[in-house]
């Protein structure tokens, strides 16, 4: 189960910080609007509350509950948002139509800088604590970890500002002293140098063991640093309007290579055997530290957007209010992206919902003319969620900022770049991801269904149940004049070692359905062909990242760093 203590503590920590960072009255009394040894940072618990306040900036709708992964990443080759042109509409942003009155950018900007300022306070004040130098071994270790967390988060927030805006104002001192309140833009590569330094210093003091909650550990920080280095070494829009990458971009790839090698070499991480189970676990708030290296924690103490996530609400399939809570249903998937998957890739029919859910929780196919324009992400479908009373609108689903599959794909890309072509290790990394996608190393197969007699007397309410040893198979009947004229398999599933039992539910008689098993793919048929050139291998990685990581908040930025965004949105 996911540890909810950090969720609750984040709320408490933020409340504890409010009188310390928000007092604006200028009075001649004890300065409670600033941190001093007289009023705060007297205990490890106070330092912990302040550190959680740094994490709290991630939980806002302005950042990872909504804006950054769900809106700013949309309108690529993999997803798009529904149309909209009104001022302050989130859809303007995704459609590359920016109006001056839209507050989304300001809200994200200010929230990230608030997180940075809190990090600066923690970095400044904890080393001034008596316990930092004179405490017990445990107290000093805990405080060192908190400084490391604050440095990592400061670096992470700055890397996100640069990823979104390029050159931005930069400061490493807190604002409580009144210093550095108005700053010019700083060159993005100067900021990247500090981000790398911050994260490396954090890595030196963060624990290496697998976490039991959503706090960052050593290897999660290494994985994020690798991604930051790839963005630093990739293309970005320069001040002169040209897409450029730094002349010394190789040094950033070398930094990234060192980090991913250490993550993989730790032996702590591995892929869940089932791709679909990764997202079912996320939807059920099951913490999975071997697959997930860093998550943003969400907690819903009431029916509200505060501390809640939009995953599984904003970006889930159309769902009628009934058995499950309804959805906002604003993210859609182009049919061309569905068609880009290879046949047999289990990620396709799980990740993309070609159906809606009715009030009874049944899947309603969206397969007739132009209904492919309403296909949506399926990874966090209401079917997989807890659907508690507090989650029938917004959810508790964490934003997973880094999965181990991403680490493996970065490894493949980095080695290909630095070696001027794929290495054996690069092939191993990408093929590990692909084998999971086709379930080549787990027992069982996907299913087939053959229609014999169509019977008579069937209605639109007729459903098909599939019972067997596997998971995820789902099929719906096509009813024509009372008979079953066809069966649509929305997901052929995986893991079936024998043909499943098929049951036709509802009125009607005489239809005959026969289940079978598909020929199972092998490693030899799934692995990439050897001998690929550097460019050909990179193209495979670019596609694989789309199929593996779709709807997880990175596609647009990946396309930018490869200088492919313009071509993809024109296609």
Q: How far apart, in whole angstroms, are the C-alpha atoms of residue 62 and residue 468?
A: 44
Q: Which residue has the tokens 């659907």?
A: 387
pLDDT computed for residue 36 by the predictor: 54
Per-residue model confidence (pLDDT) at position 23? 32
Q: What is the mean pLDDT of the chain?
A: 91
* Sequence-separated contacts (24+) of 525-530 with Cβ below 8 Å: 526/431, 526/434, 526/435, 526/437, 526/438, 526/440, 527/427, 527/431, 527/434, 527/435, 528/427, 528/430, 528/431, 528/434, 530/427
- Identify whether the C-beta of residue 457 lies closer than 8 Å to the C-beta of residue 507: yes
CA distances 338 to 78, 432, 568, Å, are 8, 22, 15
Kindly report the backbone phi and psi dihedral angles of residue 296, in degrees, each rounded to the nearest multiple of 5, phi listed first.
-100, 120
For 108, residues 6+ apart whose C-beta sits below 8 A from its C-beta are 62, 63, 67, 68, 72, 164
CA torsion angle 542 547 552 555 (round to 10): 30
Q: What is the pLDDT of residue 37?
A: 39
Helices (H), 98-217: 104-125, 130-134, 137-165, 188-205
pLDDT of residue 537: 99
Total number of residues shown for the chain? 571
List of the chain residues with pLDDT < 70: 1-38, 84-88, 176-181, 300-306
Which residue(s) pair with 513 in the sheet?
A: 451
Q: Which domains does the chain have, with CATH numbers?
A: 5-206 (1.25.40.390), 298-397 (no CATH), 447-517 (no CATH)
Q: How many CB atoms lie within 10 A of CB 438?
A: 23
Q: What is the pLDDT of residue 88?
A: 58
Please state, in angstroms and rounded to a whole number, the distance separating the CA atoms of residues 443 and 381. 25
The pLDDT value given to residue 180: 63
Q: For 337-388, what is each residue's pLDDT tens digit?
A: 999 999 999 999 999 999 999 999 999 999 998 999 999 999 999 999 988 8
The reported pLDDT for the residue numbered 92 is 81
């Amino acid at each position: 189960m996911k540890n909810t203590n950090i969720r609750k503590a984040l709320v408490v920590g933020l409340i504890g910080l409010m009188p310390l960072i928000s007092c604006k009255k200028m009075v001649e009394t004890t300065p409670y609007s600033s941190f001093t040894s007289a009023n705060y940072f007297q205990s490890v618990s106070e330092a912990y509350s302040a550190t959680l306040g740094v994490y709290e900036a991630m939980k806002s709708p302005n950042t990872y509950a909504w804006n950054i992964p769900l809106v700013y990443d949309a309108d690529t080759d993999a997803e798009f948002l529904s149309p909209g042109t009104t001022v302050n509409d989130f859809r303007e942003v995704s459609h590359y139509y920016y109006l001056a009155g839209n507050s989304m950018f300001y809200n994200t900007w200010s929230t990230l800088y608030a997180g940075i300022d809190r990090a600066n306070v923690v970095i400044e004040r904890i080393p001034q604590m008596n316990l930092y130098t004179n405490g017990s071994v445990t107290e000093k270790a805990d405080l060192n970890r908190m400084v490391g967390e604050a440095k990592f988060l400061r670096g992470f927030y700055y890397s996100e500002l640069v990823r979104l805006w390029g050159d931005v104002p930069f400061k490493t001192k807190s604002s409580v002293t009144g210093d550095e309140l108005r700053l010019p833009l700083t060159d993005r590569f100067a900021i990247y140098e500090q981000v790398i330094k911050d994260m490396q210093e954090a890595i030196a003091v963060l624990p290496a063991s697998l976490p039991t909650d959503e706090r960052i550990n050593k290897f999660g920080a290494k994985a994020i640093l690798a991604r930051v280095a790839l963005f630093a070494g990739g293309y970005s829009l320069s001040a002169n309007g040209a897409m450029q990458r730094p002349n010394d971009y190789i040094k950033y790839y070398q930094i990234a290579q060192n980090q991913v090698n250490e993550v993989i070499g730790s032996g702590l991480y591995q892929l869940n055997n089932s791709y679909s189970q990764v997202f079912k676990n996320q939807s059920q708030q099951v913490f999975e530290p071997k697959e997930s290296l860093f998550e943003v924690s969400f907690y819903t103490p009431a029916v509200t957007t505060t501390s809640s996530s939009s995953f599984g609400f904003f970006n889930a399939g159309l769902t009628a209010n009934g058995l499950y809570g309804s959805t906002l249903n604003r993210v859609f998937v182009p049919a061309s992206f569905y068609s880009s998957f290879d046949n047999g890739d289990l990620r396709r029919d799980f990740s993309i919902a070609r159906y809606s859910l009715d009030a009874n929780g049944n899947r309603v196919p969206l397969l007739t003319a132009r209904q492919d324009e309403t296909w949506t992400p399926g990874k966090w479908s209401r079917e997989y969620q807890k659907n508690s009373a507090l989650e029938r609108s917004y959810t508790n689903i964490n934003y997973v900022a880094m999965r181990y599959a991403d680490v493996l794909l970065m490894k493949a890309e980095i080695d290909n770049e630095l070696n001027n072509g794929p290495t054996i290790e690069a092939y191993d990394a990408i093929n590990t991801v692909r084998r999971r996608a086709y379930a080549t190393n787990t027992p069982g197969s996907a299913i087939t269904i053959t229609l014999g007699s169509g019977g008579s007397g069937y209605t639109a309410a007729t459903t098909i149940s599939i019972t067997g040893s596997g998971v995820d198979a789902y099929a719906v009947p096509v009813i024509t004049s009372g008979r079953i004229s066809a069966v649509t398999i929305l997901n052929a599933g995986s893991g079936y070692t024998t043909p499943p039992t098929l049951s036709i539910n509802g009125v009607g008689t005489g239809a005959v359905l026969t289940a079978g098993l598909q020929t199972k793919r092998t490693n030899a048929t799934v692995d990439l062909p050897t001998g690929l050139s550097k460019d050909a291998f990179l193209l495979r990685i670019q596609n694989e990242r789309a199929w593996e990581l779709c709807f997880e908040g990175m596609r647009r930025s990946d396309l930018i760093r490869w200088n492919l965004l313009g071509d993809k949105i024109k296609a």
